[in-house]
Amino acid sequence: MSITDLTSRAEAQVAERKEINERLQKLQEEVSDFCYQCAKCTSGCEAHKLLELEPHKIVALLKRGLIDEMINSDMIWTCMSCFKCKERCPQKVAPVNILFTLKNLAVASGKQVPGDFTAMLQSAMGIGLIQDIQTVPTRAGETKTREQAGLPPCSKPKDPAKFQQTIMTVAMEKV
């Protein structure tokens, strides 16, 4: 099995899905009891103005169990994880956490992950960091390396093979 491309797995991860589903179920019970659809979360949502994300509707859909509709929608990927919705909800509901869990479920169900997430994940699994050390531009139009900036070597996993083992067992875990 190719270990580096978690995001394009052909087969859905059955056990992983089960665990995430349990998490969602717990969230569902919580929101059903507490969310009264005041939409305060949506009124401050950073993604609402520009991308029409409506966290209160995410909560309402979860209440009704319309999970497949959500994991098949690009909407869940527009959250900026600013945590305003969680901070300001009068009922201590956290739409942002529901969104994280829905995205996890989408990935575990073999859905296409949008944008550069795949590149970040591959880099993290390979070298431990979401990107490798860059040469950066200066304002004067030149470039500088980390070393030229006077910095010591960058800290990375000492034994990449063992490190990969650690995170692969998490990513592929059968519960």
CB of 30 to another protein, least distance (A): 14
Tell me phi and psi for residue 127, to 5 degrees: -115, 0
Establish if 4 lies at the interface with another protein (CB under 8 A). Answer: no
Establish if 12 lies at the interface with another protein (CB under 8 A). Answer: no
Establish if 1 lies at the interface with another protein (CB under 8 A). Answer: no
Question: E-assigned strands of 90-140?
Answer: 136-137
CA neighbor of 17 nearest in space, from 65, 71, 60: 71
Establish if 54 lies at the interface with ligand SF4 (CB under 6 A). Answer: no
Choosing from 3, 66, 80, 136, the residue that interacts with ligand SF4 (CB under 6 A) is: 80
Quick one: which H or E segment has residue 143?
A: strand 143-144
Unique residue bearing structure tokens 């209160």: 56
Q: Say if CB 114 and CB 74 are below 8 A apart.
A: yes
Establish if 129 lies at the interface with another protein (CB under 8 A). Answer: yes
SS3 of 154-168: CCCCCCHHHHHHHHH
Interface stretch with ligand SF4, choices 47-55, 106-114, 129-137, 162-170 (CB under 6 A)? 47-55
Summarize as ranges the residues that interact with another protein (CB under 8 A).
6-7, 46-47, 50-51, 77-84, 86-87, 94, 100-101, 103-104, 107-108, 113-117, 120-121, 124, 128-134, 136-140, 144, 146, 149-152, 154-159, 162-163, 165-167, 169-171, 173
